[in-house]
Amino acid sequence: MNLQRILYVEDEPDIQAVAKLALEMVGGFQVMICSGGQQALDTVGSFAPDLILLDVMMPGMDGPATLQKLRANPSTASIPVIFLTAKVQPNEVAQYQALGALNVIAKPFDPMTLAAQVQKIWDDHA
């Protein structure tokens, strides 16, 4: 299956804008941005993403809590998720993977290579 539709959940407007452009212009993906976990849960059904990029630290419902809710719903339980976080210690990465994430991308990310990083993680797990 080709990666086409990405839902990116991030509360920072600057980072939202850069990531959307990077994923669309460099990667050629179709991207929907949500500013928080609850908005993502409300949007995921209608957008039907192939992949969700989830910021770990967000006010309100954070990334891990959002993932938990996604996994609890049979219609979204199998959508692959990649976390984005500044905390990329191996034990933290393992912890995120144990929660069901495919992998973790370090923040701040390089806008020029973000799309390639996402594609590689997707390909590695295909």
Residue ranges in contact with other proteins by CB under 8 A = 12, 14-15, 17-18, 21-22, 25-26, 59, 86-91, 106-113
Decide whether 37 or 44 has the Cβ nearer to other proteins: 37
2 versus 46: smaller Cβ distance to other proteins:
2
Contact predicate 118/81, CB 8 Å: no
Determine what percent of the chain falls in helix, strand and coil, rounding each to the nearest 5.
45, 20, 35
Kindly state the helix (H) or strand (E) to which residue 6 belongs, with its residue range: strand 5-9
Give the nearest distance from C-beta 106 to other proteins in angstroms: 5
Q: Whole-number minimum distance, CB 59 to other proteins, in Å?
A: 8
Closer to other proteins by Cβ: residue 78 or 89: 89
In the chain, alpha helices (H): 13-21, 37-47, 63-72, 90-98, 114-124
Nearer to other proteins, 15 or 32 (CB): 15
Count Cβ atoms below 10 Å from residue 45 Cβ, excluding itself: 10
Nearest approach in angstroms of CB 57 to other proteins is 8
How many alpha carbons lie under 13 Å from residue 67 in its C-beta half-sphere? 25
Query: CB of 88: closest distance to other proteins in angstroms?
Result: 4
